[in-house]
Amino acid sequence: MAERKHSSVESIPSFKEDFPSLPLDANTLQTLVEDAQDWAHANGLVMRSPSSKSSSDSCIHAPFSLLPAPFPAALYRQALQVQDATARLYHRIAYDTQWLLDAHKDVVKTDEFTRNLCDILKKVTDEGLSQRKTLVIQRSDYMSHKDPFTSEYTLKQVEVNNIASSMGGHSERVSSLHRRVLALLGMEPGRIQAAIPHNKPITMIARALFLAWKEYGREDGVILVIVEDVNQNQIDQRHVEYELAEQGVNPALIKRMTLTQCEKSLSLDSSRHLLLDGATVSVVYFRAGYSPDHYHSQKEWDARLTIERADAIKAPWIGLQVANTKKVQQVLAEDGQLELFISDFAEAASVRKTFAGLWPLDGSDPVAEKIIKHAQAKPEGYVLKPQLEGGGGNFYGDEVRDKLLHATPEERSAFILMEKLRPLVIESYLVRAHQPTQLVEAVSELGVYGYAFGDDADVPVVATGGSLLRTKGKLVDEGGVAVGAAVIDSPFLYEFRGE
């Protein structure tokens, strides 16, 4: 589902002309915060309380910004326009097993988690895939980066998420909330519609899963959702299930299980159908499995192998998860690598244009070695990233220098070095449960949702639909909502004129 387009560029507001004047007076602020918190609880913008992560009997509103974040409209459009190409790119990479194994040949020496993923990939590829179709529900994350030489803002990719792309339900609710807040502040409906983009990622995600479920061809087929043992953000996941029911899937066919539970309850028959207590599984939707914390023992890895050997359609299959590492992101930035998978010059250029500076740490690149020395001298300009997904684990500032100086060559090869982006700084009211709401200087990260569905023989079906904005304090390094650093936001689109 494509995003709804604005009627014209001229309809998009100028930030200085249309955005509410800050700070808000105390009475207005209190009234808006109370209204927004009530709206959040009434409309499912909630998550489990920190003290009750295993149960929904006690919930708080999800952290959100009171007002949308100014974001250059041209960069937002660019992020939407490049999403289909990004989804196709990773779909193609996932089926090139040898390229993936070669890319990770040094990483697996010290990174046990990536090694286990690569081992499963090689095993199921050597056996022959029972199911060649796969679904990637993707979120590509970007920042508006101020170029240090031109001072212009450009769109730069932070990372791509091929597994467990989250916050879609909360994101579309925050967009609706922000339309309400702007209306309460007196903004005209036409201006609100122009500034806050149409945002329905859950509809797109559910449609993608429904497409995979129908493709498998069993009306009684189970959609198995792989979940964490304890999940504070379970309500956000439930919105996908509820929308699946709206699209025609019997809710009784949607099952949630941890990998530990899967090891006990899943089996393969002689035709490699995946059976859950005797019922055939059509689709396996991973909302967990991206972190070492989700694999407590060999049992969880055995369950993952069983799933990958089955003919159920995986969202995503193991190839897409191996393609989701920071190492792949870095290798794609090398000359000629991206073009192995995108033959169209213009399409390849549109994707490459979003790449930030990325360098290997395995000693293979003389240019990278010079950059590493510069990073040791000026670490504030770089970020050191491991392969882990799900937020956290990056190194900043002096930690970059220390890690580069003291890590062994093999340890260094498990990381990539990335230039630290310089995003647009805004003012934002961050609203968190049981905390005072204050106006802070903040930065935002834009995620665009899309999917690709198909096999390695044909061009996959792709679609783009919806976005997520996460906003955090200007001085906060880690940016995930799940790790408590960021709030959920939505973009206030405007034509950037050097404001």
Among 92, 314, 389, 450, which one carries the catalytic annotation? 389
207 is catalytic: no
Annotated ligand binding at 287? The verdict is no
Among 385, 403, 412, 420, which one carries the catalytic annotation? 385
Annotated ligand binding at 190? The verdict is no
Dist. CA 359–CA 170, nearest whole Å? 34
Distance of CA 455 to the CA centre of its chain: 22
470 is catalytic: yes
166 is catalytic: yes
422 is catalytic: no
DSSP string, 309-333: HSSSEEET-HHHHHTTSHHHHHHHT
Annotated ligand binding at 422? The verdict is no
CB-based burial of residue 20 (10 Å sphere; 0-12 exposed, 13-18 middle, 19+ buried)? Answer: middle
159 is catalytic: yes
Q: What is residue 148's DSSP assignment?
A: T
Annotated ligand binding at 439? The verdict is no
CB atoms within 10 A of CB 5: 10
Instruction: Give the Cα-Cα-Cα angle 335, 424, 186 (nearest 5 degrees).
Output: 135
Dist. CA 405–CA 177, nearest whole Å? 47
Among 116, 140, 161, 171, which one carries the catalytic annotation? 161
Annotated ligand binding at 470? The verdict is yes
| Widest pairwise Cα distance in the chain | 69
Among 179, 326, 401, 420, which one carries the catalytic annotation? 326
499 is catalytic: no
Instruction: Give the Cα-Cα-Cα angle 400, 406, 409 (nearest 5 degrees).
Output: 100
Dist. CA 153–CA 174, nearest whole Å? 25
Q: Is 243 helix (H, G, I), strand (E, B) or coil?
A: helix
Contact between residue 446 and residue 413 where contact means Cβ atoms under 8 Å apart: no
- Separation of first and last alpha carbons in the chain: 33
Among 49, 146, 159, 215, which one carries the catalytic annotation? 159
Contact between residue 161 and residue 389 where contact means Cβ atoms under 8 Å apart: yes
Among 48, 287, 403, 470, which one carries the catalytic annotation? 470
Annotated ligand binding at 392? The verdict is yes
Dist. CA 54–CA 315, nearest whole Å? 25
Among 390, 447, 465, 466, which one carries the catalytic annotation? 390
Annotated ligand binding at 219? The verdict is no
Annotated ligand binding at 23? The verdict is no
Dist. CA 227–CA 24, nearest whole Å? 41
The two three-digit tokens of residue 64, written as one number: 């959100």
Q: What is residue 423's DSSP assignment?
A: B
State the amino acid at position 304 in one-letter form: R
Dist. CA 80–CA 78, nearest whole Å? 5
Annotated ligand binding at 389? The verdict is yes
| Matching residue, tokens 């395995």 | 362
272 is catalytic: no
Annotated ligand binding at 390? The verdict is yes
Annotated ligand binding at 388? The verdict is yes
Among 140, 144, 165, 166, which one carries the catalytic annotation? 166
Closest to 175 (Cα-Cα) out of 155, 202, 215, 135:
202
Q: What is residue 2's DSSP assignment?
A: P
Instruction: Give the Cα-Cα-Cα angle 447, 453, 455 (nearest 5 degrees).
Output: 135
Backbone angles phi, psi at 453, to 5 degrees: -135, 130
Among 133, 139, 200, 412, which one carries the catalytic annotation? 139
Annotated ligand binding at 247? The verdict is no
The two three-digit tokens of residue 44, written as one number: 């499912």
Annotated ligand binding at 233? The verdict is no
Annotated ligand binding at 394? The verdict is yes
180 is catalytic: no
Dist. CA 272–CA 130, nearest whole Å? 7
Annotated ligand binding at 478? The verdict is yes
385 is catalytic: yes
Dist. CA 144–CA 468, nearest whole Å? 14
Q: List the binding residues for substrate.
A: 139, 237, 470
Catalytic residue list: 139, 159, 161, 166, 326, 385, 389-390, 470
The binding site consists of: 139, 159, 161, 237, 326, 385-394, 396, 445, 470, 472, 478
Annotated binding-site ranges for Mg(2+): 159, 161, 389
Which residues are known binding-site members for ATP? 159, 326, 385-394, 396, 445, 472, 478
